Amino acid sequence: MTLFGGAILYLALLGAIAGVVSLVKPLRFLGIRTRKRGALVLLLGLVAFAVGVYLPVTETRVEVPRTRLDEFAPVFQFSEFHAVDIAASKERVDAAIREVRPEEIRFFKTLTSIRGIGNMANEGRPILESFVSGAFVLLADEPDREIVFGRGGGARGGRLLTAGEFKTFPPGLLVKIAMNFHIQEVDATHCRLTTETRVYAAGFHVLHGFATYWRMIYPGSSLIRSMWLRAIQRRAEAASDAGPGSSRRAARGA
């Protein structure tokens, strides 16, 4: 539904823009030959956008918590999941999660700025450190296994939820965002790293307002997550290659 809704919203916006332009000068190459037809295209674009905004949103509930993320975000309407296999120990992977910097990810600053979170990650400073010392709070930290951080509060601003309050669902308008990095050890030198983002929004207009935002930023958000995992993979595997074992392998090769 996320990709489908996003496609509707973007096509609706393009149609509305074409309609607005055609009110001034009909875009004949698009088949809009008169201002009256331009007005019709604008109207259809606005209607299509409204359809994209109010598409149904389903709620997911985790019945049996298996991760720390499940504890802090057991109920959500929006989610995003990515995974990567890494040829490194869980200790190396954990260290890489904490050390990756924005400059290791191509276009990271540009993509996060488009999403409105560009000021959360500064060059020369680990991304995770910037996030949990800024707008996000650290919810759980189990070295070599899982890190969870999030942001929660009233949809209209005001006081943000603390880590201790994050599991609650206070009444009123609310948006809660939680994200994790979860390390699953395959063997001593291989791991599977996953990252998942979950969002819970309370209130009819808040829910559909966030749905509109989520559907439109999802392609960029997905790209950021994938590149972030790849940067962690590169750093962890490079650290593994540079470790004591690599020296022994080099000696044997000589």
Domain boundaries, given as residue ranges, for the chain = 2-53, 60-241
Ranges of residues in the chain with a pLDDT under 50 are: 246-254
∠144-146-150 over CA atoms, to 5°?
145
Q: What pTM did the predictor assign?
A: 0.86
State residue 171's pLDDT score. Answer: 77
Would the CA dihedral through 36, 42, 48, 50 be positive or negative? negative
Element (H, E) at 6: helix 2-24
State residue 111's pLDDT score. Answer: 67
What gap in Å lies between CA 188 and CA 87, rounded to an integer? 9
State residue 1's pLDDT score. Answer: 66
State residue 249's pLDDT score. Answer: 39
State residue 172's pLDDT score. Answer: 80
State residue 119's pLDDT score. Answer: 56
∠186-187-188 over CA atoms, to 5°?
135
How far is CA 34 from each of CA 11, 28, 30, rounded to the nearest angstrom? 21, 8, 11
% the chain with pLDDT above 70 = 87
The hierarchical CATH code for the domain 60-241 is 3.30.530
State residue 247's pLDDT score. Answer: 36
State residue 250's pLDDT score. Answer: 33
